[in-house]
Amino acid sequence: MTGKTAEKLRSLLKTYDERSAARPPAEVRTAPDEAERRRRACGDRLLNVVRPVLQAFLTELKSAGHEGSIEDRTNTADAYPSVGLMFTPRAPGGVALASTIVFRYDPRRGVAVARDIKPSATKGRVVTTSTDRIGTMRVEAVTPEWVETKTLSFIEAVLKVN
């Protein structure tokens, strides 16, 4: 490095130090912190809004003689939070498969709803394991009414194919 270049570099560094000392240090917020905050907020929303609605549906399904369970993954640190309802309708031959509706956090869309409906094997249909997305909603906009609508359409579809 030539003497002229070294002098210019020192001058730039000195100007930068003076400018930096004149302003207060800014609070640095990293993107992962913001993403983690949003993930946790969605987990809270799923736990406080979605899970109670699914629990009410599960109680009604069990009182009607069907089987079901709730899969709650709102407190996992290594994955996106989700809450799901697994539903196995009461079948005359006792051969019915469990279908699932899952409300899951999607960082780009908010809360995504996916369902996997499996028809009874006795109906002569091929059983597939694909899921279809039936809706998305911003995390803040998720309401019990929206969850009820999605869950009711899921149960209707399961009962129709079985």
Statement: residue 32 has pLDDT above 60: yes
Mean pLDDT score of the chain: 84
Provide the domain limits for residue 53: 30-161
pLDDT score of 28 more than 90:
no
Domain count for the chain: 1
Cβ 153 vs Cβ 56: under 8 Å: no
Examine residue 48 and state whether it is found in any structural domain, yes or no: yes
* Residue 116 within any structural domain of the chain: yes
**pTM for the model:** 0.73
pLDDT on residue 107: 87
In a domain, 7, yes or no: no
In tens, the pLDDT along 75-133 reads 877 789 999 999 988 877 766 788 999 999 998 889 999 999 887 766 655 555 556 67
Any domain includes 106 = yes
pLDDT in tens, 128-140: 555 667 788 888 8
Residue 112 lies in a domain: yes
CB 100 within 8 A of CB 126: no
- Let me know if residue 12 belongs to a domain: no
pLDDT at 30: 56
Higher confidence at residue 142 or residue 76?
Answer: 142
CA proximity to 97, closest of 70, 125, 132, 71: 125
If one counts every other C-beta atom within 10 angstroms of the C-beta of residue 134, the result is 15
| Residue 89 maps to a domain | yes
* Beta bridge partner(s), residue 132: 115
Indicate if the pLDDT at residue 147 is higher than 70. Answer: yes
Is 118 domain-assigned?
yes
